[in-house]
Amino acid sequence: MKGLELLVSHKDEKKYVLIIGCGRLGASLANEIYSQGNDVCILDRDREAFRKLDSSYGGLTETADATDLEALTGVRAQKADCIILVTDNDNVNIMTAQIASVLFHTEKIVCRLYDPEKECIYKDAGMGKNMETICPAVLSAREIERLIGKGEVS
């Protein structure tokens, strides 16, 4: 994952990254960030989700609800340099991001949202400084526009 080092690590500086959601994207991020020498914990409410992790993954896994404050404290969310939210539920991602921002003062939060209109919730809550959102629909639309603009689509 090109450029991922810039998100989580500066040369020789080990980071603690908490990933919420162990789907294909979450597992892939956990594998890559861990392989770069960072401390990683991935949390998912379904224990079976962790089967997506590589056999070489040596970070932590935790089965819990991401909106459970006690569970987040248990995985040291308050110590995370970066929290990445990639569950399949925008509302869970938004609520957990708000917890991370307001209660834990997390330095960097990256949140995937399927519904681009929900991004306004972040802005209305004043959580923009330490938070980035990624919306697959918007990214796909931009890439399609780029391909059409280059004449690559017939």
Q: What is the largest CA-CA distance in the chain?
A: 53
Angstrom distance (rounded) from CA 108 to CA 18: 11
The whole-number pLDDT of residue 136 equals 87
Domains in the chain: boundaries: 12-149
**Domain formed by 12-149, architecture:** 3-Layer(aba) Sandwich (3.40)
pLDDT tens sequence across 117-152: 877 666 665 565 678 888 888 888 888 998 998 655
Nearest to 17 by CA among 117, 133, 91, 100: 100
pLDDT tens sequence across 18-77: 999 999 999 999 999 999 999 999 999 999 999 999 999 999 999 999 999 999 999 999
12: pLDDT strictly greater than 50: yes
